[in-house]
Amino acid sequence: QVQLVESGGGLVQAGGSLRLSCAASGRTFNDYSMGWFRQAPGKEREFVAAIRWSSGSTYYADSVKGRFTISRDNAKNTVYLQMNSLKPEDTAVYYCAAGFLRLSTKANEYDYWGQGTQVTVSS
């Protein structure tokens, strides 16, 4: 059974940093892409970043490019999202997702989802 467990969310002031982790278990993910999405109250879930597990290729939403970095640790089966220069508009529940696909920005193309972790950025 595939499980994705996010951690690392919290409350931070604007300009601060957080690192989210997504621990993956239940299968090997070499042929998978891992994505981070976020959803703010009253808004649709939106793509943040994705990484191809095997090659390490990455892709970012324009809104986070240059501020966020996605990475993975093969030994720990964990994906990270380093978030720097945080802004109040980054406030959302952040979700980790896994999909047997090429890099994708579309939530409906991912097969597995974590429970989410809250990130709140105060101004």
Round to whole Å and give the CA distance between 109 and 86: 27
pLDDT at 30 over 90: no
Among 66, 79, 90, 115, residue whose Cα is nearest residue 12: 90
pLDDT of residue 65: 98
pLDDT of residue 61: 98
pLDDT of residue 93: 98
pLDDT of residue 10: 97
pLDDT at 5 over 90: yes
Q: Note whether 22 and 32 are within 8 A (CB).
A: no
Report, as an integer, the average pLDDT of 70-75. 94
Averaged confidence pLDDT in the chain: 96
Round to whole Å and give the CA distance between 41 and 115: 16
